[in-house]
Amino acid sequence: MTRRVAVLGASGLVGQRLQQRLVHHPEFELAAVVGSPRTAGKPVNDLPWGLEGSAPEVDLPPVLDASDPSLGHHLRSLGVSWAFSALPSAVAMGLEPALVEAGLNVCSNASAHRRRQGVPLVVGDLNPEHLTLHASGPLHACATNCTLIPLLFPYVALADRFGPLDVTAQSEQARSGAGYALLRRQVPLTEAIPGEAEKTVAELGWITGDLRGASVLPSKPAVRLQCRRVDAEEGHMIDATFRFETEINIDEVREALTSFTSRPEAQGCPSAPSRPLMVVDGPVRRMDHVWANGDAFDVPSDPAMSLRSGMAVVVGDLRQTGPRTVHLRALSHNTVRGAAGGVTLLAEVALRR
Ligand SMILES: NC(=O)c1ccc[n+]([C@@H]2O[C@H](COP(=O)([O-])OP(=O)(O)OC[C@H]3O[C@@H](n4cnc5c(N)ncnc54)[C@H](OP(=O)(O)O)[C@@H]3O)[C@@H](O)[C@H]2O)c1
């Protein structure tokens, strides 16, 4: 049985990635698209398509209006039971709880409800147990900030194996991380992103935090992070130095990264890569590695047909820099693993619970 889904975000970058991933999804069926007053009422197939490949051919009602007070009931009348949100945070703040109230399960890429007790912040293949924070009724859960993903996977793989870590890192974030408007601005950018580092480290603390009954007790990661935008289209990179409590050997570090596996609940999910981390010899490059799928570095001709493409984090430039320190660079597809693919995987894991 497939679940009927509404995508909240019509002509936006993450909204379109979600539409792309849902057209052939085996467990979810794209049933409605919800947009701003700018797109509401328009045929979905008439909206300009901004992603690689052609727009999915869909037979849907015209774009529904996000400001319609009876939106939730309207969606329910269409048989929609899930909503995947790619709304601006200010809009998600009110609309997501209203849809939950109307009986829909809401999984969100927006930041509005992240780090709120009772709304699990979940990376489907890392901390699915946090879904237990949601006791009953429709689910409201959030995926993380896209910047966190390339830091998070090496961090968890190495902390699981070697214990507490101290990290100094700098992000190099693609223009698409700020939506279509910045993606289309063809100007060289190397600029700091205010507030991004604090938000990212706080989310790391929540993902790696302990469950205490119905709450998360966030951890306090020893991570110093600086975030900046660079002139690349897709892919967020982290340049990081990890310091361990005891002396380590680079081969052990490499082995810990390559042998890291998804949590069992995510295995077999359509969007879960066979391995969440891949390690390359030498440098990691956006153009070669951003579509990593856990087995290979493909460049899918149609991402709608390959839900695992872009879902693995790639580590390269791995080298020992001291008896207790290693340097690495890690890359993640920000609009796939860091947004639409991540939230779909979260929903796939939730379905299995
Ligand atoms: N880009 C990334 O890598 C990334 C990663 C993780 C999370 N996110 C989050 O995902 C969300 C969408 O980001 P994006 O990159 O897709 O931005 P975007 O390309 O600028 O798209 C913005 C979206 O917001 C919708 N919107 C704007 N005003 C609205 C309103 N008043 N009511 C309803 N919808 C409204 C637009 O709908 P219409 O098309 O109908 O105008 C559009 O779909 C943001 O919360 C962002 O923080 C983005």
Task: Report the pocket of ligand 1 as residue ranges, CB < 6 Å.
Answer: 9-15, 35-36, 38-39, 66, 86-89, 91, 109-111, 146, 176-177, 179-181, 334-335, 338-339
- The answer to whether residue 17 scores a pLDDT higher than 70 is yes
Report the separation in Å between the CA atom of 91 and the middle of ligand 1, taken as the mean of its atom positions.
Answer: 9
Which pTM value belongs to this model? Answer: 0.97
Q: Specify whether domain 3-113 bears CATH 3.20.20.10.
A: no
Report pLDDT for 164: 93
**What amino acid is encoded at 90 in this protein?**
A
Task: State the maximum Cα–Cα separation within the chain, in Å, rounded to a whole number.
Answer: 62
Which CATH topology does 148-333 take? Dihydrodipicolinate Reductase; domain 2 (3.30.360)
Provide the sign of the torsion angle of the four alpha carbons 113, 83, 28, 334, taken in this order.
negative
**Mean pLDDT, rounded, of the chain:** 95
Report the separation in Å between the CA atom of 102 and the middle of ligand 1, taken as the mean of its atom positions.
Answer: 22
Angle at 140 between CA 138 and CA 144, to 5 degrees: 155
Residue found by looking up tokens 């879902």 in the block: 311
Report pLDDT for 235: 98
Report pLDDT for 328: 98
* Atom number of ligand 1 nearest to Cα 176: 1
- The answer to whether residue 302 scores a pLDDT higher than 90 is no
Alpha-carbon distance of 262 to 252, in angstroms, equals 19
- The answer to whether residue 188 scores a pLDDT higher than 70 is no
Report the separation in Å between the CA atom of 149 and the middle of ligand 1, taken as the mean of its atom positions.
Answer: 19
Range 241-268 average pLDDT: 96
- The answer to whether residue 190 scores a pLDDT higher than 70 is yes
Q: Which two tokens stand for residue 217?
A: 């007790």
142 flagged as catalytic: no
Domain borders along the chain are 3-113, 148-333
